[in-house]
Amino acid sequence: MSPVGSGSLESLRERNRRELLDTLRRRGSASRADLARLTGLSRSTVSTLVSELQASGLVVDHEPPADGRAPQQGRPPTLLTLDRSAGLVLGIDFGHEHVHVAIADLSRTILAERTHALDVDKSAAGALDVAVRLADEVIAAANVDADRILGAGVGLSGPIDVSAGTVHTGKILPGWAGVRPADELAARLGLRVHLDNDANLGALAEVTLGAGIGARDAMYLMVSGGVGAGLILGGELYRGSGGTAGELGHVLVDESGPICRCGNRGCLEMMAGGRAILALLRSSHGDDITLDDVMALVADGDSGARRAIADAGRILGRSVAAIVNAFNPELVIVGGAISAAGDVLLDPLQEAVHRYAIPSAAADVRITRGVLGDRAEVLGALELAARQSDVAVPSAIGGSATTAVKQQRGEAHR
C-alpha cells in the first residue's frame, strides 16, 4: 500500500474544514459534539480543526440560547458559530402591504432591520426601489462593510419559479408580470439573490428557529390578507415540480363564492383570509377596519370579531385536513397576522382537522401557533441566503477570513 502524501493529507484536512464550516453555515450554531455527529468526523478531529478555525478568526464561541432546549443539569455545551468576518446575509420580505429588510451574520443574529408600508402587489418597480433603499439603510445601520455580504434571500407573496428567479405569470401579482426580481435585485445590490415564496420562507424559519425546531414533516399555514402554505418534507422545503406547491389559498372551497384575484370563484383565501374577515366586519365595525383592529377586538372579547375568526378557522381546518391526509405531517404551524387571534382561530381549526382528516393522520399531527410573528418571512429569507451562501476557507489557516470573503464576492461578479 502506498503511503499517503502530505498533499493528500492537507487536501483531506481542507475538505474536513469545509464540511465543518458548511455545517455551521446551515445550522447557525452547533456544539463540538453536534459537529462530530453531523459530519461523521471523530471528536478529536473536530476539536483540532475547530481550534484552527478559531485561530483563523472564522469560528467563535457562542452563548447557548436561553430557550429551554439546553440541558437542565450540568454545564451546557459551548456552542460554536461562524464569526461575523465569515460573512453576512441580507433578507428581503415583500409582503402584500410592506417591504421588510434585515441584515444578519451567519449565526442568524440580526444586526439591523427596516420595514416600509407599501402596496407591493401593484408596483414591482416601486417595491424594488424601496427594497434597495432599505438594504442600504440596514447596511449603514449595522456599520458593516458591504463587501462582506455573501448574498440575499427574497420572499414574495405569489407563485415563484425558483429555478428562473421569476414570478409565474398570472393574475395573483399583476404588478409583477414580466419582472425578474432576482435578476433585478442581483444587478442593483451586486449580490447573489435567491427568490422563494414567502410562505415557504416562513416554514423554513419556523422549523429552523421557531415552533417547529427538529420537525421533519411539517406544514406552515400563513393566514394574513391572503392564505398560503409552506411544506417541509423529510426536513427539506418541498416546492413541487414548478415551484408552486403550497398555494393553498387558491384551493376551491365554494364554487359559487366570490371571485378571487386569481380569477376563480370561492378560493380559500376569499372565504377565510384577511380580506374575507374584513368584509364580514365592515358593516358592523366601519369601512376603515384593519386586521390589527380585528386582533385588538378579539383580545377585547368582541363577539362579532371572535365569530368571524372562529368561522375562518373552521373553513381553514377543512383544507388543512386534506393536506394532513395527503402528506401526514407531524406538525402544522399557523403563522401570519391572523395567528395573533390564538386559540380563537386554532381551536376551531383543530376541531375541523380532527373531524375531516382520517383518524390516524389526525392523531399524528400537532397544531400550534408560530412563535416568530411578523418576522417569520424575513427570518426565512435570511436563512435561505445563509444556506445558499458559500463560506470561503482561507488558503492558509491563519489568513484573513475577511479577505477570503471579498475574493469570493468578487468572483461572483466576473
Q: 227 and 353 share a domain?
A: yes
Q: Flag whether 13 is in a domain.
A: no
Q: 238 and 315 share a domain?
A: yes
CA torsion sign, 172 to 117 to 88 to 33? negative
Predicted confidence band of residue 250 (pLDDT cuts 50, 70, 90): very high
Q: Flag whether 46 is in a domain.
A: yes
Q: Flag whether 349 is in a domain.
A: yes
Distances (CA, A) of 217 to 3, 4, 172, 292: 46, 43, 28, 31
Distances (CA, A) of 286 to 153, 283, 304, 311: 38, 6, 13, 20
Cell for 277? Answer: 374577515
Cell for 11? Answer: 487536501
What separation, in Å, do the N-terminal and C-terminal C-alpha atoms of the chain show? Answer: 44
Cell for 325? Answer: 391526509
**Boundary-marking domain end, from 53, 85, 117:** 85
Distances (CA, A) of 297 to 231, 283, 339, 347, 373: 31, 15, 14, 18, 19
Q: 176 and 234 share a domain?
A: no
**Could you give the CA distance from residue 99 to residue 233 in angstroms, rounded to a whole number?**
29
Burial-class residue 317 by CB neighbours within 10 Å (0-12, 13-18, 19+).
buried
- pLDDT over 80 at 168, yes or no: no
Look at residue 400 in the predicted model and tell me its pLDDT.
Answer: 46
Look at residue 393 in the predicted model and tell me its pLDDT.
Answer: 55
Across 1-14, average pLDDT: 64
Q: What's the CATH code of the domain at 358?
A: 3.30.420.40
Q: 251 and 364 share a domain?
A: yes
Residues 6+ apart with CB under 8 A from 336: 202, 221, 222, 223, 224
Q: Which domain holds residue 380?
A: 88-200+376-390
Q: What's the CATH code of the domain at 33?
A: 1.10.10.10
Q: Within 10 Å of residue 99's Cβ, how many Cβ atoms?
A: 25
Look at residue 164 in the predicted model and tell me its pLDDT.
Answer: 78
**Could you give the CA distance from residue 210 to residue 221 in angstroms, rounded to a whole number?**
14
Phi, psi of 179 (to 5 degrees): -90, 140
Pick the more confident residue, 178 or 6: 178
Q: 58 and 140 share a domain?
A: no
Predicted confidence band of residue 255 (pLDDT cuts 50, 70, 90): very high
Q: 109 and 138 share a domain?
A: yes
**Boundary-marking domain end, from 58, 85, 112:** 85
Residue with cell 440596514: 138
Look at residue 348 in the predicted model and tell me its pLDDT.
Answer: 98
Q: 174 and 244 share a domain?
A: no
Q: 271 and 363 share a domain?
A: yes
- pLDDT over 60 at 411, yes or no: no
Nearest to 327 by CA among 211, 413, 246: 246
pLDDT in tens, 41-89: 999 999 999 898 888 778 888 765 554 444 445 567 788 888 877 789 9
Q: 32 and 106 share a domain?
A: no
Look at residue 73 in the predicted model and tell me its pLDDT.
Answer: 53
Report the phi/psi class of residue 348: left, alpha or beta, with left for phi > 0 and alpha for psi in -120 to 50: alpha
The residues that bridge with 102 in the sheet, in sequence order, are 91, 113
Predicted confidence band of residue 6 (pLDDT cuts 50, 70, 90): low
Phi, psi of 410 (to 5 degrees): -65, -40
Q: Flag whether 294 is in a domain.
A: yes
Question: For the chain, what percent of residues have pLDDT higher than 90?
Answer: 61
Predicted confidence band of residue 173 (pLDDT cuts 50, 70, 90): confident
Q: 218 and 340 share a domain?
A: yes
Look at residue 132 in the predicted model and tell me its pLDDT.
Answer: 98
Q: How many domains does the chain have?
A: 3
Look at residue 407 in the predicted model and tell me its pLDDT.
Answer: 44
Q: What is the mean pLDDT of the chain?
A: 87
Look at residue 110 in the predicted model and tell me its pLDDT.
Answer: 94
Q: Flag whether 132 is in a domain.
A: yes
- The region of weakest confidence among 77-91, 189-203, 235-249, 268-282 is 77-91
- pLDDT over 70 at 364, yes or no: yes
Q: Flag whether 398 is in a domain.
A: no
Nearest to 22 by CA among 63, 78, 89, 82: 82
Across 32-39, average pLDDT: 90
Pick the more confident residue, 365 or 96: 365
pLDDT in tens, 201-225: 999 999 998 999 989 999 999 999 8
**Could you give the CA distance from residue 124 to residue 175 in angstroms, rounded to a whole number?**
6
- The region of weakest confidence among 225-229, 286-290, 364-368, 399-403 is 399-403
Cα 130 versus chain centre, distance: 21
Q: 92 and 45 share a domain?
A: no
Q: Flag whether 413 is in a domain.
A: no
Look at residue 75 in the predicted model and tell me its pLDDT.
Answer: 61
Is residue 91 within 8 Å of 385, Cβ to Cβ? Answer: yes
- pLDDT over 70 at 414, yes or no: no
- pLDDT over 90 at 382, yes or no: yes
pLDDT in tens, 289-324: 999 999 999 999 999 999 999 999 999 999 999 999
- The region of weakest confidence among 22-36, 48-62, 65-79, 136-150 is 65-79
Q: 126 and 25 share a domain?
A: no
Pick the more confident residue, 97 or 295: 295
- The vertex-217 CA angle with 270 and 72, nearest 5°, equals 115
The residues that bridge with 104 in the sheet, in sequence order, are 89, 110
Q: Flag whether 167 is in a domain.
A: yes
Look at residue 362 in the predicted model and tell me its pLDDT.
Answer: 96
